[in-house]
């Protein structure tokens, strides 16, 4: 394991005082994630105080601790404020690297695009890439992801999210990307904005942190493209657009089903043609792949190797991972795990992809979409249309917000399937177990707080 920080460097970066000489190879603020050689940052949170987990972190192999309290003989750096120390460590990590830094945001597709870009850049021989793990994309996750970066890497890919205006403005000034991507704009977190244009303005804040000669990558087909373009023109030296529009710099020419699965994409990038396969299914993955190719080009990466990476993308847990299950009695079921998050745009896209690729009976377990504000009932009711278009055979609707959708399905003469409405994930699992049959394809999708991931875990852990 490579040393990424010494005790002296941590103390210098944070303004703290080192007690003991140690070196660390990783950083964590959740004691459950601490591994051998890690730095554990003990922070005070709303639910718990990390200082109460220091002993456990050391037992799990932590090489050192950032603490607001003296720790006796333990190896630690004493600071006044652990959260401020994490931010300082993130800033210091960014300041000391010569890597090409790429930031990714958008209403949907952030994590998948970040992972695809990381894999694409990692393919280049003798070049190393780093990325934020999981969805660590907020005011805590972004500096943590920076602090974990080895100073010797060649590329750093960071996901950035927001719930309110001005949040991305702060995050991007920590990341200071050379390249910034916006995947799409949709009504995610719209309860905190007057309308979608407010979301577009907030997402466009990512360009405020661009380094000199920085590149902005934006979706030309999105209705809010003019807002994104205007902001990019004030902050970026270079702008690359992607999409199917004839004026796109990275333009989709054709997308057809590939024999190996996924989609065979033909695209024009500036003065060259690209042909590659995207292993993941769905139009959104095709569009996101164009953004990835644009970023690889802007970063000076190898487009041929990026194409290979796109053809080998693994399904991400909660974001398209698939499982072939054998139930008690021998019945075979294909499970699609989209349980991590949901908003109106991603629901519609996922249901369309589900319809195009599902075999056998189509069963959709759909959880409530959160943070939609006063239009929540409208957005949930509107799901009736993509469900009908997808010809879903049976829906299990989870959460109070989806009562209106059940009413709409019952009223829709075009809907030939059935549905159940249940209160929570546990009830959804019981109902799903009761109706699953041989040959079914099951989609599970909802906002993370609905906890449909527990349904997937129960089924994939062999508890059926």
**321-349 mean pLDDT:** 89
Does the structure show a pLDDT above 50 at 237?
Answer: yes
Q: Are the CB atoms for 205 and 106 separated by under 8 Å?
A: no
Higher pLDDT, 240 or 164: 240
Superfamily of domain 5-79: MurE/MurF, N-terminal domain (3.40.1390.10)
Distance, CA of 48 to CA of 437 (rounded, Å): 43
**Three-state DSSP class for residue 276:** strand
Instruction: Give the pLDDT confidence score for residue 45 in this predicted structure.
Output: 84
pTM: 0.83
321-460 falls under which CATH superfamily? Mur ligase, C-terminal domain (3.90.190.20)
DSSP string, 106-143: -SS-HHHHHHHHHHHHHTSTT--EEE--TT--STTHHH
SS3 content of the chain, % helix, strand, coil (to 5): 40, 25, 35
Tell me the average pLDDT across 287-303. 97
Q: Kindly list the domain boundaries of the chain, sorted by start residue.
A: 5-79, 97-311, 321-460
pLDDT surpassing 50 at residue 226: yes
Confidence of residue 462 (pLDDT cuts 50, 70, 90): low
Decide: 446 and 380 in contact? Cβ < 8 Å. no
State yes or no: pLDDT of 189 exceeds 90. Answer: no
Q: Does domain 97-311 have CATH number 3.40.1190.10?
A: yes
As a whole number, the mean pLDDT across the chain is 93
């Amino acid at each position: 394991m490579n040393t990424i920080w010494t005790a002296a460097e941590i103390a210098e970066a944070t303004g703290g005082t080192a007690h003991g000489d140690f070196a660390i190879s990783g950083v964590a603020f959740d004691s459950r994630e601490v591994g051998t050689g890690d730095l554990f940052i003990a922070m005070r949170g709303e639910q718990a105080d990390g200082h109460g987990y220091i002993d456990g972190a050391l037992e799990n192999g932590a090489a050192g601790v950032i603490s607001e309290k003296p720790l006796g003989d333990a190896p630690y750096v004493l600071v006044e404020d652990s959260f401020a120390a994490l931010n300082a460590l993130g800033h210091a990590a960014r300041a000391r690297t010569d890597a090409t830094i790429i930031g990714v945001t958008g209403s949907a597709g952030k994590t998948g695009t970040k992972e695809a870009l990381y894999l694409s850049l990692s393919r280049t021989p003798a070049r190393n890439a780093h990325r934020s793990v999981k969805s660590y994309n907020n005011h805590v996750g972004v500096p943590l992801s920076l602090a974990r970066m080895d100073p010797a890497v060649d590329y750093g890919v960071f996901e950035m999210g927001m719930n309110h205006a001005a949040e991305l403005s702060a995050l991007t000034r920590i990341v200071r990307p050379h390249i910034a991507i916006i995947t799409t704009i949709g009504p995610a977190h719209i309860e905190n904005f007057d309308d979608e244009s407010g979301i577009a303005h907030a997402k466009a804040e990512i360009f405020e942190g661009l380094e000199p000669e920085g590149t902005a990558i934006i979706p030309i087909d999105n209705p809010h493209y003019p807002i994104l373009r205007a902001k990019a023109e004030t902050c970026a030296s270079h702008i690359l657009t992607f999409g199917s529009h004839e004026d796109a710099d990275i333009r989709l020419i054709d997308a057809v089903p590939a024999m190996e699965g996924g989609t065979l994409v033909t695209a024009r990038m500036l003065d060259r043609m690209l042909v590659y396969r995207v292993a993941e299914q769905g139009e959104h993955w095709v569009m996101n792949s164009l953004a990835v190719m644009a970023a690889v080009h802007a970063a000076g990466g190898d487009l041929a190797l990026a194409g290979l990476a796109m053809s080998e993308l693994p399904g991400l847990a909660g974001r398209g991972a698939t499982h072939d299950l054998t139930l008690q009695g021998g019945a075979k079921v294909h499970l699609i795990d989209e349980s991590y998050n949901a908003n109106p745009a991603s629901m519609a896209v996922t249901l369309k992809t589900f319809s195009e690729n599902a075999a056998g009976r189509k069963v959709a377990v759909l959880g409530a979409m959160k943070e939609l504000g006063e239009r929540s009932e409208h957005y949930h009711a509107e799901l009736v249309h993509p469900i009908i278009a997808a010809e879903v055979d049976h829906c299990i609707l989870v959460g109070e917000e989806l009562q209106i959708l059940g009413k709409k399905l019952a009223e829709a003469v075009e809907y030939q399937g059935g549905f159940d409405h249940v209160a929570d994930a546990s009830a959804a699992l019981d109902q799903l177990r009761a109706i699953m049959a041989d040959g079914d394809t099951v989609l599970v999708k909802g906002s993370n707080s609905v906890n449909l991931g527990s349904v997937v875990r129960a089924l994939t852990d062999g508890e059926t």
